[in-house]
Amino acid sequence: MSAKRRCIAIGFLGAILVAACATTNINLPSVTDTPTGERLPGKVIWRDLLTHDAEMSQRFYAELFGWEFENIGSAAGLGSNSAYTLIRHNGILIGGMIDTIALNNKNDISQWVVLMSVEDIDAGVASVTAQGGEVLTPPTNLQQRGELAIVRDAEGALMGLLQTRDGDPADREPEVGAFLWDELWTTDVNNATTFYEEVGGLEAANWDIDENQQSDATYRLLKSGEVPRVGIMPNPLEDLQPVWVSYLRVDSPAAITAQVAGLGGRVIVEARPRPLGGEVAFIAGPSGAGIALQTWPLEESN
Amino acid sequence: MQSFLKLARLMSLLIACASLSACDDVRVYGSVGYSNYSGYGGYHGGGMRTGVTVGGRIY
């Protein structure tokens, strides 16, 4: 074989390898062990923790909330460099964790990312674009999990849209230590409300969460039918970019915050009574990813 | 000519290897860090806050 032909052959082989890469199968498990077979558009059905300190984050959440972690990176077809870890609480799937060190990102993207259910992923991303958002990762087939797109909303908050393959988790009351609620802290509540009404098929209602505060404390509750799905409120921390904040159900926020620093995290908002009842706190894990704590139900909290 | 072909072969291999090593990362969350998303990047702001109203589940 001549040198020229060898060169062409090597180039051809390279093209085949690249094509194979493009069709690599990623197979992430379903977001629930008991899929309902139906989708619940507008519902947050999964949360992924992006962290640049996976080991410390794992210890942090395991110690505070009793979470269990199972690394499935290689088994999922993501390759040995890409760590993907399932998170369970009392054996029930509640989320995932991605080691961002393996992603070689140029920016620190540590945070919790919520995935909202959509009936049709293509229509969902089209709606994102139409409403002024940006599609960062176009719809990607994750097999058992379904099709996922990662987007930024119109105010810049990162989130995902997921069209599940086998259906969404049924609505159920969370156990202590599990996810209770999801809320967008943003700069333009009205614009964000329009965005999620269109993208998630939700309807908004106003709630005054603190009568002693000024009018910007008004809370926007987004519902699917009669079921509350998410909240939107003005960002209470002025130096924080728009972000989705997930809440965990806890018995005592103060008991949790007392342990946070010792596990490498930080208390951002100390445990305090909520105007509408119960107690709340806001903490950050070792990577800086923020998460809120809330007692539930309200009538059993003081 | 010979040195050009050697260089071309080497470049082909390097491109193929680079593409393979990065592909699975880019497909899900990897694209976020490569985008113009500057990132919430975790909360590393000032000290503990008082006087702020945090939301939470209502019903």
* pLDDT tens, position by position, B17-52: 444 444 444 467 877 766 666 555 556 655 556 667
Q: Are A265 and A282 in contact (CB under 8 A)?
A: no
Distance in angstroms (rounded) separating the CA atoms of residues A64 and A282: 14
Greater model confidence, B54 or A71: A71
pLDDT for res B51: 67
Establish if A288 touches chain B: CB-CB under 8 angstroms: yes
- Give the nearest chain A residue to B40 (CA atoms): A241
Structure tokens at A199: 């993208």
User: Structural domains in chain A?
Assistant: 44-163 (3.10.180.10), 179-300 (3.10.180.10)
Using CB atoms, pick whichever of A17, A242, A288 lies closest to residue B20: A17
CA B33 from centroid of its chain's CA atoms: 3
Distance of CA A218 to the CA centre of its chain: 24
Q: What is the mean pLDDT of residues A5-27?
A: 56
Note the pLDDT of residue A295: 97
The contacts of residue A70 (CB under 8 Å, 6+ apart) are: A85, A86, A88
Query: Which residues of chain A lie closer than 8 angstroms to B16, CB-CB?
Result: 13-15, 17-18
Does A196 score more than 90 pLDDT? yes
Task: Kindly report whether the peptide bond that precedes residue A297 is cis, defined as omega within 30 degrees of 0.
Answer: yes
Label each residue of chain A as H, E or C: CCHHHHHHHHHHHHHHHHHHHHCCCCCCCCCCCCCCCCCCCCCEEEEEEEECCHHHHHHHHHHHHCCEEEECCCCCCCCCCCCEEEEEECCEEEEEEEEHHHHCCCCCCCEEEEEEECCCHHHHHHHHHHCCCEEEEEEEECHHHCEEEEEECCCCCEEEEEECCCCCCCCCCCCCCCEEEEEEEECCHHHHHHHHHHHHCCEEEEEECCCCCCHHHEEEEEEECCEEEEEEEECCCCCCCCEEEEEEECCCHHHHHHHHHHHCCEEEEEEEECCCCCEEEEEECCCCCEEEEECCCHHHCC
Nearest to A161 by CA among A173, A148, A170, A171: A148
Strands A158-163 and A111-117: parallel
pLDDT of residue A3 exceeding 70: no
Question: What is the residue-averaged pLDDT of chain B?
Answer: 64
A44-51 and A92-99 beta bridge pairing = parallel
CA distances from B15 to A9, A10, A83, A103 (A): 14, 11, 24, 19
Q: What is the pLDDT, as a whole number, of residue A276?
A: 83
State yes or no: pLDDT of B15 exceeds 70: no
Best CA proximity match to A266, nearest among A280, A283, A252? A283
pLDDT at B39: 56
In this structure, are residues A157 and A193 in contact, taking their beta carbons and an 8 Å threshold?
no
Tokens 């964790």: give the residue.
Answer: A97
Closest Cα of chain B to A294: distance in Å? Answer: 7
CA–CA distance from A284 to each of A61, A111, B5, B14, B20 (Å)? 11, 9, 55, 41, 35
Average of pLDDT values for A3-19?
A: 54
Which residues of chain B does A239 touch, with a Cβ-Cβ cutoff of 8 Å? 45-46
For chain A, what is the mean pLDDT? Answer: 88
Which of A13, A107, A180 is the closest to B37 by Cβ? A107
What number is the average pLDDT over the span A65-88?
82
**Choice between A180 and A99, residue whose per-residue pLDDT is larger:** A180
Answer yes or no: do A103 and B59 touch at CB < 8 A: no
Confidence of residue A46 (pLDDT cuts 50, 70, 90): very high
Calculate what percentage of chain A has a pLDDT beyond 70.
85
In chain A, which residue's Cα lies nearest the Cα of B24? A78
Identity of the residue numbered A225: G
Average pLDDT, integer, range A98-103: 84
Q: What is the pTM of this model?
A: 0.85
Q: How confident is the model at residue A160 (pLDDT cuts 50, 70, 90)?
A: very high
Residue A300 is predicted with a pLDDT of 54
Which pLDDT score, from 0 to 100, does residue A224 have?
Answer: 96
Q: How far apart are CA A98 and CA B47, in angstroms?
A: 27
Query: Hey, of B1, B3, B43, B52, which one would you mutate to test binding to chain A, going by the most A CBs within 10 A of its CB?
Result: B43
Question: What would the pLDDT profile of A203-262 be if each residue is shown by its tens digit?
Answer: 998 876 666 655 455 789 999 999 999 999 998 887 788 999 999 999 999 999 999 999
Sheet bearing A243-249, strands edge to edge: A203-208, A218-224, A227-234, A179-186, A243-249, A290-294, A279-284, A266-273
User: Which has the minimum average pLDDT: A13-17, A81-85, A282-286?
Assistant: A13-17
Of A75 and B47, more confident: A75
pLDDT average, residue stretch A38-45: 98
- pLDDT for A102 equals 77
CA A101 to CA B39: how far, in whole Å? 15
